[in-house]
Amino acid sequence: MRGELAGKVIIITGAARGIGGAAARLAAASGAGALFLTDRDAAPLAATAESLGDARVAVLAADLEDPAAPAAIARAAITAFGRIDGLVNSAGYTYRMGLDDATLDGWDRMQAVNARAPFFLMQQAVADMRARGAAGSIVNIQSMHAHIGLPDLAVYAASKAALQVLTRNTANAFKTCGIRVNGLNLGWVLTESEMHMQADVLGRGPGWVDETAATLPLGRLITPEEVARQIVHLLSDDSAPMTGVSIDFDQNVFGGQ
């Protein structure tokens, strides 16, 4: 067993599958004292929890579009395990919407899940840490699209750019409290939701993975497990004193040719 997270109580959102699920598995293997997992999809969330073996785990099915969800998640985590030492804002929502076809409902949903919910989850986690005079670490899953974004991902890019600013702002606000806040700007990751989006929603079919991989420097997409390794590192004391940093976790160099 790895020991990077020895004894820490960690909340992970979007834990049913993909990056959140991979982070939960690696956090358990890295010695986390307890994991509080949440997702809107109850059945796969329960399956993730069951896959963690002897780890101390509690779950809560919650939809981050609900303004009451962040407080409910934090309250349930503290009730279950007594405190919050770390938070991973992994849950996210994406859909193709640009300036020419964006809707008010789409804008509101994207901002609610990708920016509002992580902000108020950070509020809850920081409040618990400060009340105990304890250090802590928060990791926000952001996106390379926060730099500019494709034209048909304007609304998604705006929500992730908001999260990137909130990462830096929160890190700065609580830097003297031992509370570190960092983010990962992710490139193309091979998750279940991305497979559905590309193959089914965008109609590219099952061959899209190989087609896309051929255009990338490594000849493949980033895996959820690779992202999970970075998440665990940022949660751990090994990454101190780093705070307020948004790491471009991509195969390409932004701005390069």
In contact, 225 and 249? CB cutoff 8 Å: no
Which domains are assigned to the chain? 9-187+223-249 (3.40.50.720), 190-221 (no CATH)
241 prior amide bond cis, ω within 30? yes
pLDDT above 80 for 1: no
Q: 166 pLDDT exceeds 90?
A: yes
Per-residue pLDDT of 51-72, as tens digits, reads 999 999 999 999 999 999 999 9
Count the alpha carbons within 13 Å of 160 in the hemisphere toward its beta carbon. 28
The set of catalytic residues is 156
pLDDT of the residue at 36: 98
Say whether pLDDT at 129 is over 60: yes
pTM of the entire structure? 0.94
User: Under a CB-based contact definition with an 8 Å cutoff, are residues 8 and 33 in contact?
Assistant: yes
